[in-house]
Amino acid sequence: MSGPAVDSSLSGRAVASHDSPLEGRSAEGGPGRGGDASSAEALSPPSGPLARADLPLPGGGGALLSVENVSLSFGGVKALTEVSFDIAGGEIRAIIGPNGAGKTSMLNVINGFYHPHEGRITFKGRTRTAMRPYEAARGGIARTFQNVALFRGMSVLDNIMAGRTLRMHRGFFWQMVRFGPALAEEVAHRRRVEDIVDFLEIPHIRKIPVGRLPYGLQKRVELARALAMEPDLLLLDEPMAGMNLEEKEDMSRYILDVNRQFGTTIALIEHDMGVVMDLSDRVVVLDYGRKIADSTPDEIKRDTRVIDAYLGVAR
């Protein structure tokens, strides 16, 4: 990745260029389409219900989630083979690897879309072998997708409100008549959604149907919907895919601010190695469904196994 760096005031980390054999390699999401970078200003900490100053700084907590010897197969194809790693509370954890390495399959296992054939996952002290997506959502796991998954005919506000569904407790009758307790509840949740809209700097598009928005803004709306769930663990599947340089810088800034200011633990898949090395506290590397490395970004850049996997060295 080349080009100007993001303002280094962003939580002490910047999206800068790196001299690494891994750079320039793009997969699955493809490289950004270029564009002039503009310097990004750090967001001030949110006030009110979004502030979560009581939570630990990145990397400062114990294991929020542990993956132990997880294996997943589709017929005769092994997507994951005995993969183990953990995600510490408050950190940004990157999952990287070439095409077909099993990264998205791992996220699907974590939030219940796939059920592993072997192994187990421990989240917030609860060990399980399988879980439904709605159970993961109720437990505090939110997810964005490689391909934007929004309600294209609905407005930005309504899409973000969809993320509040699990936190709304009035019954169908009260919601239908939209009166009394149900109205008070909706007003409170809409106030929280407006805080998220302001945080992600999208008030100017709040009433526009998302199908009319450019791709970069749709990605931001999807992030907003995930944040509306107030997750303990946020899974980001290629949040920078298809973005130009300026959009990547903006998204990187928001990810850092969500992690620092909300205290949200983040696991992300990303193919832009400059972004990965600057945002993440630790990196786990998959290749052909197996873990080949798990360490800090600096050590990952020098790991010959990782370099060989990305450069396609003959086996």
Residues 226 and 261 in one domain: no
Contacts (Cβ under 8 Å, ≥6 apart) of 269:
94, 95, 96, 103, 104, 107, 146, 236, 237, 238
Residue 50 domain flag: no
Per run of 10 residues, the mean pLDDT along the chain (length 315 residues) is 38 42 41 34 33 39 88 90 94 92 92 90 86 84 81 85 70 57 70 87 88 88 89 92 87 92 91 89 94 93 88 62
Nearest to 295 by CA among 46, 52, 47, 93: 93
Residue 262 domain flag: yes
Q: What is the structure's pLDDT at 184?
A: 67
DSSP letter, residue 48: G
Which CATH number covers residue 86? 3.40.50.300
Structure tokens at 258: 């969500």
CA distance 159 to 254: 19
Residues 204 and 280 in one domain: no
Residues 119 and 240 in one domain: yes
Residues 258 and 313 in one domain: yes
> pTM here?
0.74
Residue 271 domain flag: yes
Residues 235 and 109 in one domain: yes
Domain boundary (189, 215, 230) is at 230
Residue 25 domain flag: no
Domain boundary (200, 230, 260) is at 230
User: For residue 273, which amino acid is it?
Assistant: M
Residues 133 and 236 in one domain: yes
- CA 88 from centre of chain: 15
Q: What is the structure's pLDDT at 173?
A: 55
Q: What is the structure's pLDDT at 39?
A: 31
Contact predicate 83/291, CB 8 Å: yes
CA distance 157 to 80: 38
Nearest to 19 by CA among 33, 36, 37, 2: 2
Domain containing 124: what range? 61-140+231-315
Residues 302 and 256 in one domain: yes
CB neighbours of residue 146 within 10 Å? 17
Residue 267 domain flag: yes
Q: What is the structure's pLDDT at 315?
A: 53
Percent of the chain with pLDDT over 70: 73
Residues 158 and 226 in one domain: yes
Residue 164 domain flag: yes
Contact predicate 142/235, CB 8 Å: yes
Q: What is the structure's pLDDT at 95?
A: 95
Q: What is the structure's pLDDT at 153?
A: 80
| HSE value, Cβ hemisphere, 13 Å, CA-based, for 214 | 7
Specify the length of the chain in residues. Answer: 315
User: For residue 266, which amino acid is it?
Assistant: I
SS3 84: strand
Domain boundary (230, 245, 274) is at 230
Sheet holding 77-88, edge to edge: 77-88, 63-74, 118-123, 126-128
Q: How many domains does the chain have?
A: 2
Residue 91 domain flag: yes
Contacts of 188-192 with CB under 8 Å at 24 or more apart are: 189/161, 189/164, 190/157, 190/161, 191/49, 192/49, 192/50, 192/164, 192/228
DSSP letter, residue 78: E
Q: What is the structure's pLDDT at 53?
A: 35
Residues 246 and 104 in one domain: yes
Residues 240 and 134 in one domain: yes
- Angle between helix axes 245-262 and 215-228 (nearest 10 degrees) is 10
Residues 241 and 266 in one domain: yes
Residues 187 and 171 in one domain: yes
Residue 23 domain flag: no
- CA 35 from centre of chain: 24
The tokens 């421990």 sit on which residue? 122
